[in-house]
A and B are shown apart, each in its own frame.
Chain A
Amino acid sequence: MRAAIDIGGTFTDVVLFDEKRGKIFSTKVHSNPKYPNKAFIEGLFHIRKYLDSNHEDIQELVHGTTIVTNTILEGNKACVGMLVTEGFRDILEIGRQQRHNLYDLMIDPPKPLVPRHLIKEIKERINADGKILSPLNIEDTTRIIENLIENGVESLAVTLLFSFENPVHEKQIKSIGLKYMPKDYIFVSSEISPEFREYERASTTVVAAAVAPQVIKYLNELEKELTKLNGSKIKFTIMHSGGGTILPGNVKKQPHKLVESGPAAGLMAATQLTKVLGIKRAISFDMGGTGAKAGIILDGTYQYTTEYEIGGGIHHSQRLKGSGYPVRFPMLDIAEVGAGAGSIAWINPGGLLKVGPKSAGVIPGPACYGKGGINPTVTDAHLVIGHLAPDYFLGGKQTLFPKLAIKTLINLSKTVNLPLEETAQGIINIVNVNMLRVLELVSIDRGYDPRAFTLIAFGGAGPLHACDLAEKMAIKNVIIPLLPGVFSAWGLLFADMSTYFVETVMLNLNLKNIKKINQIFNRLSLKANQFFEKNKVPSKNRSMDISLDLRYLRQNYELNVKYDKLTMLQRDLVKIKNQFHKIHEANYGHYFSNAIIQIVNIRIMASEKLSKPGFSKIKLASNTSKAAKYGTQNIQISNYIKKYKIYHRSILRADHVIHGPAIIQEE
């Protein structure tokens, strides 16, 4: 049996797949941003209860977490000491000189994660070919590390120039550092991100060092809890931002890989669903209490991005470059907006109604929760209009108080001078516009016509908004998966254990270089096979996804091209070149058929393909094509009343046709 615990901003989702009984057990508990392990322990408690009552054990637990992002954003980062090549002390401060707000003369760049007095220059130099120009001075380095420790440094980030070509000096520094601190607290860039572009390499290494102590502490606590649950028999894995899982031991070595651990899961689940249903093009839309995320699925695969800034700002769903701390790792390409069911409606100084980005969060939550919230939220608006049943929220686990929602909305409606129901509808319309922006960003903005796509909506609030959004995007088909509220956690159950290896090549793509290129392929596949051996992956489950980062010679940015072999033959050259021209044209509108192409990096994603829990088919209705109505509800919008039929999803069958307006309730 496989279980998943996915910690989100508002709720923590728990899913357990009981293969024997073909049953899914799921529940939601409140997240605790301050002590994230509390929600995990509570989730485990529910899993244990299910297991005990069915006399079962689980073999595997997959976890989605926000610990890395929270550690960076909430300031309980480690005191990091940083060692750089002489002359590079200001690498973090200088960054890429990207202004995230071009016309604001007073913007503050993000404060470097390591203060300048804890960044020390080391006398050494390796050139671009990996040759040592001046050797490392062991005595000086030892003295510098001792000095950093005296200054209260907990963890160490080492990033030297061209260490991805020759890591020998970084290795030497690591072995010196081991005399002063545990190995889990020393991070060297040639292990964390062995690629060219020193700022991104330095930033990724520093992020790893800054979150390591918290992440290690957190994982140790979780592992202790798991031992209580099922001895040491349970396989515990964590979702990484590349859409795969990773063992805790490897997280401790590379904690930066967990940056977008949670959001990745929802897109994974939606991808699996499209494979089962044979859907070629889909947009996955996940709307929870504090945020919404969208991603695109083409032919059963999701898209990757290597550009991500932790703690960075978002404006109109577009990530603001230069506003956060770059972390380099292939991640699922997901657009995000800070608006969800808990977003607070407010009036701006110009008298306009606005929704978010402030959220009522877990505590106090929306006003209608009756937990002391006084601000009107999207959930309150839904309740006032009648989209939510007060006694059937979270399957009856959370009672809603319509009176409290009305009270807070009346105040707002007086300010905007609109009837109560119109104010409520206004809040929903405004939050829908925010949601549309993320959907457009992954479709129209990237050159895809949303009309050819299916919308897969989930998360606590996704289904409530899906039909409105589909109508506005002219999307014809909407899929609401079963148990939409915990669908993200369901995605954790589909995740394969994976890791990736990369090597910077910097060679022109031609016959002369094929031998050298193949040597790199050999080195990378050797590493991938070592990973499989070490983790005891049976050979039938081994899978490698190979790709090349290419650019025209003298260009500054590369594009990723998929490749399907571990050796390159002469006849493959033309194929690769044509593929690159095509991708270049798709991205920039043109290509250069005669230009020399340069290979910048070769990447291998190694993953263990496991058998997936299946989706069970919904039975066909026995005799009638009419679904059983549960009741009706009048919904009043201004002066006019709409009659909504209410259905329970559990008694709906596959061929039922429902004529709206209708509300479908699900436990």
Chain B
Amino acid sequence: MGGSAGECEQFLLNPETREQKVLHSKLSNFIMKKGEILRVVTAGGGGFGPAIERDLDLVIKDYLSGKISNKQLRDDYGVVLTNAGTVDYLLTSNLRKIQGG
């Protein structure tokens, strides 16, 4: 659909600890001990159409609502912010041109 690659699902046992273990996606009959933590990271789609063509207002809305990070804003959407937090149109336009290849 012209988007980017999606992300895989991940099952993590005791995430961010020394005992962290990546589990198989189709796991059955697995016994967890009391107090253990299972983190399920659901799969995500890669979007519809190229991310760098997405409307700037919508990108900023996603960013402000915390749905994309600062890094994703730059790397995936080609959007650069000024120090004041507004869109730097010149840098953004240049970056998007480069990323669009």
Contact = CB atoms under 8 A, between A and B. Distances in A.
Interface of A: 89, 115-117
Interface in B53-79: 64-67
Q: Which 7 A-B pairs give the minimum distances between C-beta atoms?
A: A116-B65, A117-B65, A117-B64, A116-B66, A115-B65, A117-B66, A116-B67
B45 to A, nearest CB: 13
Contacts of A116: 65-67
Nearest to A151: B64
A252 B67 CA distance: 34
Contacts of A115: 65
A116 B62 CA distance: 9
Interface string B29-57: 00000000000000000000000000000
A317 B20 CA distance: 50
Contacts of B65: 115-117
B94 to A, nearest CB: 28
Nearest to B61: A117
Contacts of A117: 64-66
Q: Chain B's interface: helix, strand, loop or mixed, by majority?
A: loop
Contacts, number: 8
A115 B65 CA distance: 8
8 contacts: A89-B66, A115-B65, A116-B65, A116-B66, A116-B67, A117-B64, A117-B65, A117-B66
Nearest to B64: A117
Nearest to B62: A116
Interface residues of B, number: 4
Contacts of A89: 66
Contacts of B64: 117
A265 to B, nearest CB: 41
A89 B67 CA distance: 11
Given A117-B65, A117-B66, 4 more contacts: A89-B66, A116-B66, A116-B67, A117-B64
Nearest to A121: B66
A117 B64 CA distance: 6
A117 B65 CA distance: 4
Interface in B64-98: 64-67
B6 to A, nearest CB: 17
Contacts of B66: 89, 116-117
Which residue, of B64, B66, B67, has the highest number of chain A Cβ atoms within 10 A?
B66
A115 B64 CA distance: 10
B37 to A, nearest CB: 12
A89 B65 CA distance: 10
A372 B66 CA distance: 50
A79 to B, nearest CB: 15
B32 to A, nearest CB: 17
B95 to A, nearest CB: 24
A81 to B, nearest CB: 14
Nearest to B63: A117
Which residue, of B64, B65, B67, has the highest number of chain A Cβ atoms within 10 A?
B65
A89 B66 CA distance: 10
Which residue, of A89, A115, A116, has the highest number of chain B Cβ atoms within 10 A?
A116
A89 to B, nearest CB: 7
A116 B66 CA distance: 7
Nearest to B67: A116
Contacts of B67: 116
A116 B64 CA distance: 8
B68 to A, nearest CB: 11
A117 B67 CA distance: 9
B29 to A, nearest CB: 19
A30 B67 CA distance: 47
B46 to A, nearest CB: 18
A117 B63 CA distance: 9
A129 to B, nearest CB: 14
Nearest to A89: B66
A560 to B, nearest CB: 33
A260 B64 CA distance: 36
A393 B64 CA distance: 57
Nearest to A120: B66
B81 to A, nearest CB: 15
A395 B65 CA distance: 57
A117 B66 CA distance: 7
A100 B22 CA distance: 35
B35 to A, nearest CB: 12
A610 B64 CA distance: 54
A288 to B, nearest CB: 41
B41 to A, nearest CB: 13
A115 B62 CA distance: 11
Nearest to A118: B65
A116 B61 CA distance: 10
Nearest to A116: B65
